Amino acid sequence: MYHKLGNIPSKRHTVHENPKGGIYYEQLFGTEGFHGASSLLYHIHRPTMIAEVGESKVIAPVAAVSKNISPRMIQGFQAEPTDDFLDSRTPVLFNDDVTLEVAAPTGQAMTYYYKNGDSDELIFVHKGTGTMVSLFGELAFGPKDYIHIPRGTIYQMTFDSEDNRLFIIESKSAIKFPKRYTNGVGQLLEHSPFCERDLRLPEFAEAKDEVGRFTIKVKKAGMMHHVVYGSHPFDVVGWDGYCFPYAFNALDFEPITGRVHQPPIVHQNFEAHNFVVCTFAPRMYDYHPKAIPSPYNHSNIDSDEVLYYVDGDFMSRNHVEQGFISLHPAGIPHGPHPGAYERSIGQTATEELAVMVDTFRPLQLTQAAIDMGMNDYWASWQES
């Protein structure tokens, strides 16, 4: 989508006069060189004013289990609330394409700005409200929102209270809408389970005309760098283009249903290189008179399946709680727990809500995932 905010010149790469004297400084914000989606931003000060390059530290996730064949259940709400936004982010699963994190920031004000130079971020807000402020403006968020933040976006998160829970997907490739739901110009088609009206875009924020020392923590290649700039990163008077953050609420996903059970692909919401993200939203069940609404047993031959449980009574599991994360690895079949298949017969609707991530390369587990894990989950399909 094309979007614009604030004050921009009529022609790109031309003089944009500052009424206080001088000119505004243009910045191309883009991905994939000069080929991918981009926006043009206009700064009061040069966005290149590095005042100091500070310390760097290693933050790359470390595998505690790298070759996993066992089903796992991670209790995500066991992640301890933490004051600092970045420190609160705990990686639990990862591979070369994607990192999955849980976070429980307490809402303490960020004294720095953050830029992920490696990955697009898709932040699912399980609990909490607040505002994401970036060089593109302000974006309010609340429970069950996805916040898509393109790589390289400088931002701060502001929370309204201390009780916040996030599920975060970091993608080394661009996060996009499924190709089958878009036409040649990127418009979402009529059969898509969501449309542009469901997206919330940034709102204009007054440019910060400030000079001084502004610390930006930059994540790049498994390192966290501290870079101090001489001007405020949010000194943007206007911008336009196709690359910017947006929010989408999971309850605005319109489920695709049928007479018999539909495959998980109908729940797809986003895609990236080597993984997809699906939204299992409240929906009517299958309506064939002999339909079995519960998923059928299936073999994950090519993908690891991750489900983050948000709300409702999940039909295929005998016991899940909010914030649980199941991992069913490639190579072995999985399916509903004993009794769940039979219990689903005759049911007409579900209020369940979950986020699914299917990866096409194996996921590794961090020590945090092991520590928050249920040790006997793999045995939960045994018939008593």
Please name each of the domains of the chain with its CATH number.
50-60+80-236+244-249 (2.60.120.10), 251-379 (2.60.120.10)
234 closest CA partner among 59, 47, 79: 47
Torsion, Cα 194 130 149 9, to 10 degrees, reads 90
Phi, psi of 53 (to 5 degrees): -110, 115
pTM: predicted TM-score of the whole model, two decimal places: 0.96
Confidence (pLDDT) at 375:
87
**Which amino acid would we find at residue 51?**
A
CA angle 231, 232, 235 (to 5 degrees): 105
Chain-centroid distance, C-alpha 330: 23
Q: What is the mean pLDDT of each run of 10 residues along the chain (384 residues)?
A: 96 97 96 89 97 96 95 97 97 98 96 97 98 98 98 97 97 96 93 97 96 98 97 98 97 96 94 97 94 89 95 80 96 90 91 96 98 93 84
**Which amino acid would we find at residue 235?**
D
What is the Cα–Cα distance from 133 to 155, expressed in whole angstroms? 6
**Which amino acid would we find at residue 349?**
A
355 closest CA partner among 254, 279, 282: 279
What is the Cα–Cα distance from 76 to 51, expressed in whole angstroms? 39
What is the Cα–Cα distance from 288 to 310, expressed in whole angstroms? 28
Give the tokens for residue 75.
């209790």
Confidence (pLDDT) at 242:
95
Confidence (pLDDT) at 309:
97
Give the tokens for residue 215.
């610390």
